[in-house]
Amino acid sequence: MSAAMRLTSGIEAPGTVPTPSDVLEGFVAPYGLYLHVPFCRSICPFCPYNKVLLRPGLASPYFAALRHELELYDARSLRFESLYVGGGTPSLCLEELASVVTELRVDHERAIEVLPTHATPGGLARIRALGFDDVSLGIQSFDDRMLRHLGRLNTAEENRLALEHAVGAFACVNADLIFDVAFAEPDVFLRDFEACCRAGVDQISTYPLMHFGYTPFGKLPHAPRAEHDLLRRTYALAADLGYERRSVWTFNRVGGPLYASIAREAYLGCGAGAATFTGRDFLVNHFGLAPYERALAAGLLPLARRARLTPRRAAAYYAFWQLYAPGIDVERFRRLFPGARTVLPALRALRRLGLLEQRGGRLQLTDRGFDRYHDLERWVTYHLIEPLWEEMLQEHPVPDRPRRHAPAGRKTSGAARSDGRWTPVRRAQRARR
């Protein structure tokens, strides 16, 4: 997994900006399209993603730039495996999205993130009319106290109505839930989980509250054992209610569809803050609206960072995210990545340790592996993704940047994240630099 862990150490300003044909020719497999809509009506304090308060005059030039980016790639002539629209709050800008997505050729699912208060019968009908067949609802909780803790403006009742309106209206409905073992007793989250199961959602994505240093929650410590215990209790509850654990943090109806947001083999990212993985390169767009729009006005791709991946690093990056869900098709892995042969011995070692198992030609995490991966995913997020995102968020004007300090009384020392299990990983990472 060293390539995934060392990825940001190789990300740098691209120098000469790649041309669209350079990017497209780098894809090693059919790819999906990710579109980022950064606008929100309010900023949730737990959210680390690239987002901007929607003010008058921002949307029109942004979507004009997004259309221009797609035109540079000649996107209308391409065939995408899938379409995923994230944010921000994409459902806030459906009229603007219509001019972007309706002429795209997508072979499989079209998915969009939806604010629960937008999941009214009329709002969902508009989403279906745009061709979306999968939706993800940012439920987070059905407990009003937990929603206030997370800074959410929607209520528990609005969340319940959103599920009622969405389930059965789309091919796949995902509900996001957040748990914070330091704030609420486990039964709150288990009740939230059961409510989603009873409502009949296709997938439940269960996330620990992440403590990003540049958000108001700050760098608080985690309680891994308590989180593992809660997820194991969730697994037992899911089995009783007809759901199965398909990835580290997702549970699906048995036999139901999978809502996949990050475990794509390859993807082209467009929009401010979007990323691209071709199998040879990892590319990151400008986060700030102004530099994003300026680059496109000059006829250039809005690329701010690029990591050229060696075959081994590319194979390791691919393996890392495919293990998240749904697992690694070993033969396909060998075909796609020349570096696979150097990564497979490490995967076999994880299998001997009982963290992976082979199921019909696919390597997947075991229950024990889910626990270890839960911790590894968080480590990668804090040590690799967070520094990159914090750097890129500095492109926003000062008033729009996230608060860098936690509320009074919260410990924000980086030492709060100390976890001895990853000390060998950190040492190995430093040794390779």
Alpha-carbon distance 127 to 122, whole Å? Answer: 9
Give domain status of residue 94, yes or no.
yes
Alpha-carbon distance 87 to 112, whole Å? Answer: 9
Give domain status of residue 152, yes or no.
yes
Alpha-carbon distance 160 to 162, whole Å? Answer: 5
Smallest Cα–Cα separation from 113: which of 185, 166, 158? 166
| Total domains present in the chain | 1
Alpha-carbon distance 82 to 268, whole Å? Answer: 10
* CATH code for the domain in which residue 63 is found: 3.20.20.70
Q: What is the pLDDT along the chain (433 residues), one digit of tens a residue?
A: 344 444 445 677 777 899 999 999 999 999 999 999 999 999 999 999 999 999 999 999 999 999 999 999 999 999 999 999 999 999 999 999 999 998 899 999 999 999 999 999 999 999 999 999 999 999 999 999 999 999 998 999 999 999 999 999 999 999 999 999 999 899 999 999 999 999 999 999 999 999 998 888 888 888 999 999 999 999 999 999 999 998 888 999 999 888 877 678 999 999 999 999 999 999 999 999 999 999 999 999 999 999 999 999 999 999 999 998 779 999 999 999 999 999 999 999 999 999 999 998 999 999 899 989 989 988 888 988 999 999 999 999 877 766 543 333 344 333 334 333 323 333 333 333 3
> Distance of alpha carbon 157 from its chain centroid, rounded?
26
Give domain status of residue 157, yes or no.
yes
Give domain status of residue 223, yes or no.
yes
| Dihedral sign for Cα atoms in the order 393, 396, 401, 404 | positive
Q: pTM of this prediction? A: 0.90
Give domain status of residue 328, yes or no.
no
Give domain status of residue 331, yes or no.
no
Alpha-carbon distance 379 to 368, whole Å? Answer: 17
Q: What is the pLDDT of residues 67-87, one digit of tens each?
A: 999 999 999 999 999 999 999
Domain that holds residue 116: 15-253
Strands (E), 214-350: 243-245, 250-253, 267-270, 275-277, 281-285, 303-308, 328-329
Give domain status of residue 231, yes or no.
yes
Give domain status of residue 124, yes or no.
yes
